[in-house]
Structure 1
Amino acid sequence: MSPFNPHPLPSPYSSRRSLPWAISSLALLATFAVQADMVVSASSSGSSEQQTLTVSLSPNTEDAGKSANLYLAAVAGNQLFAASGTVSNHAWQVVQDTDKLPDIGTVTFSANGAMGAGVSIPAFSGIDTRGMAGTTVYAGYGANSQDMLKGKFALAYTLPAASHANLAYAASSPAQVLDLYLPAGSGPFPLVINIHGGAFLGGDKAMLDSAVLARLLAAGYAVATINYRLSGEAVFPAAIQDAKAAVRFLRANANQYHLDPKRFASFGQSAGGNIAAMLGTTGGSKTSRNGTVIWDDAKLGNPDVSSVVQAVVDWFGPTDFAQMDSALSAQGCAASFISHNTAASPESRFLGIAIGSSGSTALVQDANPISYVSAATPPFLIEHGSVDCNVPAAQSQLLAAALSAQGIDNTIQIHQGAGHGMPAESWSGKTSLDRLLAFLDRVLKR
């Protein structure tokens, strides 16, 4: 549970620096703050997202080569919180007096001047960020908290809050809900529909990396994050049908939510990358390859509305389940990772049949986005880590080759030395997000 749940504060405030002063001062001082760079990484367990926010602070010129205390604070509603403990192991507490902010350790800055080597300060560690929407986190340094407040305080990050939370896009399962985030302005906005990972058997719509979400919103994109039926509830093609139902719902209600129905992109990570790619390649298909699966399930609503997307971003998603183990072996992964052709593998559970068993071949092909690549397929941006031992990089390379063979606009980026969504800088760092925005701008804003 988040420490930012409401806690009543004593009133009247007895300290010299009262809470309203503290909040307004932090907001003002942030405009004079030192340079800060954010790298946000996320991991999930079940439906609970845990994020680590890292802030790199560069010292002012006069502080280069000196030692200083480190401070973390957060503002949630009308409350001020401060971290106490250490950089790697801290707790949050309500505070009233900025004179008494606890520090979380000391650091010695580089002597290379104002832009010398920064200090990485993990602001969040193991905290469920779904309870922290709208919270603004600050980081700073100084000989004491008052010294820190003299312009050495950085506005680190504000966690976005959904404009519309838990919208039901269908009515056959509690899983069929989405959160919609709208940027500033009146629209109509191009929309990015994010599909979380979790091996088809776990995960949650809150898993979109907050740094990615913030960049998309700042660039003028609306973002929908969807839940879908996981394999423990319903096997393939339920997840694909749910994602298509979400697209139809959002398009059918585009006017109400200020969306541009002609500019939708699907975006997924890991298992979500497979589903996002399936949205892209099956857009012109009513049924699966052999006609046994109906993609747009009328029972899920808005049957006469298109589920086509105009762009796809696939981050390290699987494609051909039957080739995963051989590719992992060729990639040099440990034997413990080479287990996708077993009845207990996430992909077998997703399909409802053991991959490699009698009768599995047709289902594997049905669930492979490559099976549906055609001249109608929209542009793709594909990214993968070169040493990913969960989903081998060859899975994305197969998809890119199939798209290229059909003359489909596609870009594939292999992150050398990167694993399955790690390190975070490979995916939520500036270079990666610049590439993501450049692709979306080119395809959706042309």
Structure 2
Amino acid sequence: MPLTATYKRTSATQITADIYLPSPSTSPCPVLINIHGGAFMLGDSRMVSIPQVNDCLSCGWVVVAPNHRLCPQVNIRDGPLRDVRDCLEWIYSDDGLDRFLRESEEGKAYAVDKEKVMAFGTSSGGMLACGLGYDVPRPPRAILNFYGAVHFTHPCWTQPIPAIKSKLPRNLTPSFLEQVYTQEPIPTSSNVSLEGQTETGQSAGPDFSRPRDAFAFTQIANGAVIQACCPDPEVRREIDPVLNVTKEFPPTFVAHGLEDKMVSIEVSRELVRVLKEAGVECGMVEVPGEGHTFAMAMEVGGRTWELQRKGFDFLERVICS
């Protein structure tokens, strides 16, 4: 089981991160921030791929999986993105991760190598990982983005998804869906992830008797996720990673399934295009036969596993250069 640290306090809530520790080492450990997906509205820190976490631990990395406030009560910039940026600052701070480890029985043997901090995320978490590459005092050394929500002007962000729409109950009224805006405090976790995973790792579909599940899947089905989670077009432009790449952007690798029907692979291709144009070290793997959220279903050692490993090899290469 991971350790749990509070990395941020707001007036209404404490926001936590799960800390996974590798085997003890005499050397300071690199750190990977692992940001969960969930269309900015679902999921939490326990809904990450444990095989991926274990793979990173075998490299000697500390893995930090943060929670963040969930949309739509707060927009992407002021909620999820602000929170994960604060988590990054907490990791770099002398009073942050290092202090937490020193003061915990399980972590006191560990030190953090702050020159080797990396960021990784899936889906909405991929966007948030990329969001650590700009408008921060000190970005991570490298970023790994799995099928992230970027390039907000692409048509895929306004196109309905019939396969999901057909599964929505017909009795979801606006007044019921809008109950999501009344949750207090703003939640940092939900009962199910976009992948259908629960905190226990079991598979479970959305429960449409819960306003949050019903609201989130309605926005996904209607092609309205970005508008619901960031209504102001100016704010969307401010935070879109595709519009914020400069030559100072951290080295970045992208993985995306060729059969993704929820987030067009074209948004990742556009991100890689602007990274190359800016002269940023980057790479991409397009995974045959895989749709959205494939990271949660792949088998260790299988073809998809070996292809996605190229992203983690990229991180290792950057931090060791």
Q: Which has the higher helix share?
A: 2
| Corresponding residue for residue 56 of structure 2 | 216
Q: Structure 1: where are the runs of 5+ without partners?
A: 1-160, 287-305, 354-359
Identify the match of residue 436 of structure 1 among 291, 311, 316. Answer: 311
| Corresponding residue for residue 173 of structure 2 | none
Task: Determine the C-alpha separation between the residues in 2 that align with 1:244 and 1:402.
Answer: 22
Task: Determine the C-alpha separation between the residues in 2 that align with 1:396 and 1:321.
Answer: 11
Could you say what secondary structure the match of 2:9 adopts?
A: coil
1:397 maps to 2:269:
yes
Residue identity (%): 24
* Matched residue type, 1:314: N
Could you say what secondary structure the match of 1:425 adopts?
A: coil
TM-score by length of 1: 0.52
Q: Structure 2: where are the runs of 5+ without partners?
A: 102-110, 166-217
Identify the match of residue 262 of structure 1 among 86, 108, 115. Answer: 115
Could you say what secondary structure the match of 1:223 adopts?
A: strand
| Corresponding residue for residue 120 of structure 1 | none
Rg larger for: 1
Alpha carbons of 1:427 and 1:269: their partners in 2 closer, same or farther (altered >3 Å)? farther
Could you say what secondary structure the match of 2:113 adopts?
A: strand
1:149-187 per-position Cα deviation (integer Å, ceiling 9, x unaligned): xxxxxxxxxxxx21x21x111110536210111111234
| Corresponding residue for residue 239 of structure 1 | 80
Identify the match of residue 90 of structure 2 among 239, 249, 254. Answer: 249
Alpha carbons of 1:428 and 1:270: their partners in 2 closer, same or farther (altered >3 Å)? farther
Identify the match of residue 126 of structure 2 among 257, 270, 273. Answer: 273
Task: Determine the C-alpha separation between the residues in 2 that align with 1:390 and 1:171.
Answer: 33
Alpha carbons of 1:343 and 1:335: their partners in 2 closer, same or farther (altered >3 Å)? closer
Task: Determine the C-alpha separation between the residues in 1 that align with 2:122 and 2:114.
Answer: 23
Identify the match of residue 407 of structure 1 among 270, 279, 283. Answer: 279
Q: Is the 8 A contact 2:139 2:250 kept in 1?
A: no
Identify the match of residue 142 of structure 2 among 311, 314, 317. Answer: 311
1:170 maps to 2:11:
no
> Post-superposition shift, 1:435?
1.5
Q: Is the 8 A contact 1:325 1:341 kept in 2?
A: no
* Matched residue type, 2:56: L
> Post-superposition shift, 1:342?
9.6
Alpha carbons of 1:440 and 1:362: their partners in 2 closer, same or farther (altered >3 Å)? same
Q: Is the 8 A contact 1:319 1:368 kept in 2?
A: yes
Alpha carbons of 1:322 and 1:389: their partners in 2 closer, same or farther (altered >3 Å)? same
Task: Determine the C-alpha separation between the residues in 1 that align with 2:88 and 2:249.
Answer: 16
Task: Determine the C-alpha separation between the residues in 2 that align with 1:319 and 1:326.
Answer: 10
Corresponding pairs, count: 252
* Matched residue type, 2:17: L
Could you say what secondary structure the match of 1:176 adopts?
A: strand
> Post-superposition shift, 1:419?
0.3
1:317-396 aligned within 5 A: 317-325=148-156, 334=162, 345-351=224-230, 353=231, 360-396=232-268
* Matched residue type, 1:239: P
Alpha carbons of 1:377 and 1:229: their partners in 2 closer, same or farther (altered >3 Å)? same
Task: Determine the C-alpha separation between the residues in 2 that align with 1:170 and 1:254.
Answer: 12
* Matched residue type, 2:7: Y
> Post-superposition shift, 1:418?
1.0
Task: Determine the C-alpha separation between the residues in 2 that align with 1:269 and 1:206.
Answer: 13
TM-score by length of 2: 0.71
Task: Give the number of the structure with larger relative contact order, counting CA–CA contacts within 8 Å between residues 6 or more apart.
Answer: 2
